[in-house]
């Protein structure tokens, strides 16, 4: 389920405890999840998610699936500790799962930082589990 999903929502928290939620592309990489700052248009290069992770590396990633047939609904939440990879020696290998998952990256490899999330806890729900 999780590996096939295409978009997740990344939640971060700033120094004052204010939450920030953004949709992100992501890929599983062993026991961590990676996402990258890519070429999609952004309103600024000073992204709040990066600022927040530097201030508080505890993050939450939510992946969900919706259909009109509610018997097929599910979600997975991954809580973890985020690290920002900016050095090319760390960043380039971390991009490999994203490049394999998203054909859109074949012609335009993400040039920004990679966020690597070491998962500390998973929670999930599926309508098929709640009979």
End-to-end C-alpha distance for the chain, whole angstroms: 19
pLDDT at 129 over 90: no
| Rounded distance between C-alpha atoms, residue 60 and residue 76, angstroms | 10
DSSP 22-64: EEE--EEETTEEEEE--SS--S-SS-HHHHHHHH--EEEEEEE
The answer to whether the pTM exceeds 0.85 is yes
Could you give the C-alpha distances from 124 to 59, 70, 73, 101, 113, in angstroms and in order? 16, 16, 11, 22, 28
Q: Per residue in 32-49, pLDDT tens?
A: 999 999 776 566 667 999
Q: What's 8-126's CATH class?
A: mainly beta
Please tell me the total number of residues recorded for the chain in this structure: 131
pLDDT at 3 over 80: no
Q: CA distances (Å), 69 to each of 3, 58, 89, 119, 125, in order? A: 21, 34, 45, 30, 16
Check pLDDT > 50 for residue 131. no
Cα–Cα dist 124/130, whole Å: 12
Residue with tokens 């992946």: 63
């Amino acid at each position: 389920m999780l590996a096939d999903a295409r978009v997740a929502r990344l939640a971060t928290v700033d120094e004052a405890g204010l939450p920030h939620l953004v949709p992100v592309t992501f890929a599983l990489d062993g026991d961590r999840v990676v996402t990258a700052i890519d070429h999609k248009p952004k309103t600024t290069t000073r992204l709040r998610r990066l600022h927040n992770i530097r201030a508080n590396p505890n993050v939450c990633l939510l992946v969900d699936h919706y259909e009109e047939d509610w018997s097929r609904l599910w979600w997975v939440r991954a809580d973890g500790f985020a690290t920002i990879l900016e050095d090319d020696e760390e960043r380039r290998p971390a991009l490999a799962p994203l490049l394999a998952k998203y054909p859109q990256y074949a012609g335009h490899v993400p040039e920004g930082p990679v966020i690597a999330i070491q998962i500390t806890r998973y929670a999930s729900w599926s309508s098929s589990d709640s009979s």
